Chain A
């Protein structure tokens, strides 16, 4: 079944084009996981996270100064090369400066029928962020209604919430399987599921994932290698994770926005209106470092994950020039070190030097496993 997820990941554009043809619906390309997909699903829109292709490119230089992160450049390159021409709309939720440039350049040079810049609080630790975000979501809902020419009802929103909650809950269930001593699923497989969660129709994805989890629960396959955590900037580099695992490890947990930061919590029922409930979910989700101040809640969450998943080592990855993560890495490294977890720091570019990184990962695993060299 994992092959289906792999195929979805590989053929993401073909899937979206086929989905449009099949449903007659609109496709929204989005940047950043603070976009409330619940409202897009309520409007019967397919949300597709815009990702890079990990290929060298030469089309973004006139638009983005080279000191901005490779992920933001790789994403823009996809648009400039016409790979997302099927998108009906694009949107961003206010997050880091880097990806904002991708959105604004895309908006100007690859215009779509609909474009929306959604302000999202950067201060998640003030009680005022929730009502403010709820108001922004209400304005966004109104813009969506004008675009699709149809009112988005309470029932529609409930349907959106249920689809998102179901999908996120299944991912949590999948990750619970990785808490086991010898997990039945490795990091590469999990990443395929997690990436496609942000590309595929949620109900289709959930249906397959439900079956996959059932199969895994009766599966005898076990991964008994060194338990690693991987965390940091955006990371959808399958080749890299495969390499790390082939060196003798299993990535049992991640803290990425493709991964746990995306699905960790659900919209919870409360007396608030539905949109406020959604806003609360996004404010309470594991934070992106650019929104994690003045307290370092992210570090606490990372330590919680490390303990829950019995992690032996952590690979800290950072997209080159990613300031928010650069500002967190020393604190994360220190906190993990204080609980006895060694770390390996690797800086990512659009493509990564697999050979060099392999040597470093092997050395890191030797160190944490205390392997005899001879």
Chain B
């Protein structure tokens, strides 16, 4: 097998991505110093809604925070054990357990005491999501909590009644926010945040589409550090601007043949959250000339896609691109509900077969040679139906390897066994470690 050699270059926006992430956590921690508000909720929550309370309202999204803890293995272990001592099962969502542990220990992963939010604002996508903040509220001594139910079925079945149900809850949530915070709600800020969300999530999808190119301009390990901003505050204007900038840079990489990895021999696709404390497994794969070009998870947790007229998968056209001017609260909420329900990662909660179709689409259009599935014990939501996905991919002729682990609980990840499985997988794909 001939070993190609491509030009590579570090991402110019890398430092900015780091800076924005640091600023995000700092803003949350210091919000009270300047009379601002703090709220906590999921990365899937309708964060644009609390944005209508003012420009000094800062979120802390639970999943990326739980992942950040997982990366700090010693602190994570302390958190997980603190939760177990409270009587909670160790097979629950590991992000959630890391998060609760941080509350119980009263330690923040980025220093100091755990900064209690003023309220929780969540949506209920899996069995744990609302319960996460129900328990968090109890652990924090009764933080006011609100959650919106989105269990209306896959996007192909969405109709007016389903949207009405979600939007009615959104309207109620705004009344609740006003009552809870004592602030007057500003619809202009809501509309601005909703438009930012459309922009950042469509832009991320555009960036992912660029990875169809061979060589891929981005590798998945790098993408984890980029998509994360969308999980922190997809409605934030600075983050939306960042994705504009990133899109331009990835386009430049494409135009100039800049690859993510010097030797791209085979292209892999993964699935679900990785074991965050062990991202080096991706670098290990690269030593064989295998690059992971992404996954439904990395693309579709934040990116919003649609089928294009030529049948390919691309970024969904935003309401602004369609010439829609958002002029009222209700219109903003309706558009946001519809937009979020079309999120690719949302569909598989109803059927693994819908997910398999999307995975096969990625495998085909992104020219994937093999698939590695993380049977992730840490997230029952995104591991849902993964065994059926494996069967569908095998049936379609893709080589598939699986490894078991946990995105946020290192006790459930066997590093050496996973490396051995990966080595065997590389061998089945005809790869040896590169002597470079």
Q: Which residues of A contact B (CB under 8 A)?
A: 61-65, 67-68, 94, 96-98, 100-101, 104-105, 108, 117, 119-123, 126, 128-129, 131-132, 135-136, 289-290, 293-294, 296, 320-321, 323-324, 326-331, 333
Q: Can you list 6 A-B pairs, Cβ within 8 angstroms, ordered by A? A: A62-B390, A94-B153, A98-B380, A121-B165, A126-B149, A327-B135
- Residues 170-184 of B, flagged 1 when their CB comes within 8 A of A and 0 if not, give 001000000000000
Q: For the complex of A and B, list the 6 residue pairs with the smallest distance between their C-beta atoms, beginning with the closest.
A: A123-B149, A132-B165, A326-B89, A293-B130, A330-B87, A135-B161
B147 touching A65, Cβ below 8 Å? no
Shortest Cβ distance from A116 into chain B, in angstroms?
A: 11
B157: nearest residue on chain A (CB-CB)? A119
Q: Which residues of A contact B135 (CB under 8 A)?
A: 327, 331
Q: Return chain B residues, CB-CB under 8 Å to A128.
A: 164-165, 168-169, 172
Contact A67 B88 (CB under 8 A): no
Are the C-beta atoms of A296 and B92 separated by less than 8 Å?
no
Which B residues touch A324, using CB under 8 A? 127, 131
A294 touches B380 (CB 8 A): no
CA distance A32 to B332 in the complex (A): 35
Contacts of B380 in A (CB 8 A): 67-68, 97-98, 321, 323
B391 located at the interface, meaning its Cβ lies under 8 Å from any Cβ of chain A in the complex? yes
A120 and B149 CA atoms in complex are apart in Å by: 10
Known: A293-B134, A324-B131. A104 touches B352 (CB 8 A): yes
Q: How far is the CA of A97 from the CA of B168 in the complex (A)?
A: 25
- B155 interface residue, CB < 8 Å from A? no
How many residues does chain B have at the interface if contact means C-beta atoms less than 8 Å apart? Answer: 50
Please give, as numbers and ranges, the residues of chain B lying within 8 Å of A104 by CB-CB distance.
350-353, 385, 388
What B residues does A136 contact at CB under 8 A? Answer: 161
Contact: B146 with A65, CB < 8 Å? Answer: no
Query: Which of A101, A321, A327 sits near B352, CB closer than 8 Å?
Result: A101
Which chain B residues (13-72) contact chain A, with CB distance < 8 Å? none
Residues of A within 8 A of B91 (CB): 67, 320-321, 323, 326
Smallest CB gap from A324: residue in B: B127
When the two chains form their complex, are residues A333 and B388 in contact, meaning their CB atoms are under 8 A apart?
no
Q: How far is the CA of A235 from the CA of B162 in the complex (A)?
A: 33
Q: Is B265 at the interface (CB under 8 A from chain A)? A: no
Report if A119-B151 is in contact (Cβ < 8 Å); known contacts: A68-B380, A132-B161, A323-B93: yes
Instruction: Determine if A100 and B350 form an interchain contact, defined as CB atoms under 8 angstroms apart.
Output: yes
With a cutoff of 8 Å between Cβ atoms, the chain B residues found around residue A331 in the complex are: 135, 138
Interface presence of B279 (CB below 8 A): no
A-B contact count (CB 8 A): 133
What 8 additional pairs, Cβ within 8 angstroms, besides A290-B131, A294-B130? A97-B380, A98-B380, A120-B151, A122-B149, A132-B161, A323-B92, A326-B91, A329-B87
Residue of B nearest to A318 (CB): B89
By the criterion CB–CB under 8 Å, are B124 and A101 in contact? no
Whether B383 is near chain A, meaning CB under 8 Å from some CB there, is yes
Task: Please tell me if B128 contacts chain A, counting CB pairs below 8 Å.
Answer: yes
List the A side residues contacting B322 at CB < 8 Å.
none
Also in contact, A122 and B351, with CB within 8 A (given A65-B386, A67-B377, A294-B147): no
Question: CB-CB contacts of B383-424 with A at 8 A, as 1s and 0s?
Answer: 111111011000000000000000000000000000000000
- Whether B169 contacts A123 by the Cβ 8 Å rule is yes
Question: With A and B bound together, what is the CA distance between A100 and B168 in angstroms?
Answer: 26
CB-CB under 8 A from A289, the residues of chain B are 131
In the assembled complex, B349 has its CB within 8 A of some CB on chain A: yes
Q: Is B381 an interface residue (CB 8 A)?
A: yes
| Cα A100 to Cα B165 with chains together (Å) | 22
Q: How far is the CA of A331 from the CA of B258 in the complex (A)?
A: 55
Is A65 a contact of B124 with CB atoms below 8 Å?
no
B250 within 8 Å of A (CB atoms): no
Name the residue in A65, A290, A328 with the highest tally of chain B Cβ atoms < 10 Å from its Cβ: A65
Residue of A nearest to B378 (CB): A67
Closest partner residue, chain B, to A334 (CB atom): B87
In the bound complex, how far is the Cα of B152 from the Cα of A136, in angstroms?
A: 9
B350–A117 CB distance below 8 A: yes
| Contact (Cβ within 8 A) A294 B383 | no
| B130: A residues at CB distance < 8 A | 122-123, 293-294
Q: How far is the CB of A224 from chain B (nearest CB, A)?
A: 33
Query: CB within 8 A of B124: which of A117, A120, A293, A296?
Result: A293
Question: Which residue of B is nearest A103, CB measured?
Answer: B351
Listed residue (B151, B153, B352) with the most chain A CB atoms within 10 angstroms of its CB: B151
Q: Would you call B213 an interface residue if the criterion is a C-beta within 8 Å of the partner chain's C-beta atoms?
A: no
Closest residue of B by beta carbon distance from A132: B165
For A61, list chain B residues within 8 Å (CB): 387
User: B375–A117 contact, CB under 8 A?
Assistant: no
Interface residues of B in 272-292 (CB under 8 A from A): none
Contact B127 A290 (CB under 8 A): yes
| Residues on the A chain within 8 Å of B390, using CB | 62
Q: Are B153 and A117 touching (Cβ within 8 A)?
A: yes
B153 near A119: Cβ-Cβ < 8 Å: yes
A65–B387 Cα distance when bound, in Å, is 6
Compute how far the CA of A136 lies from the CA of B353 in the bound complex, rounded to whole angstroms: 22
Which residues from chain A contact B126 at a C-beta distance below 8 Å? 97
Cβ–Cβ < 8 Å partners of A96 in chain B: 127
Are the C-beta atoms of A126 and B169 separated by less than 8 Å? yes
Contact A94 B151, beta carbon cutoff 8 Å? yes
Instruction: Say whether A97 contacts B127, CB under 8 Å.
Output: yes
> Please, which residues of chain B bring their CB within 8 A of the CB of A64?
387
Q: A122-B124, A327-B128 are contacts. A63–B388 as well, Cβ < 8 Å?
A: yes
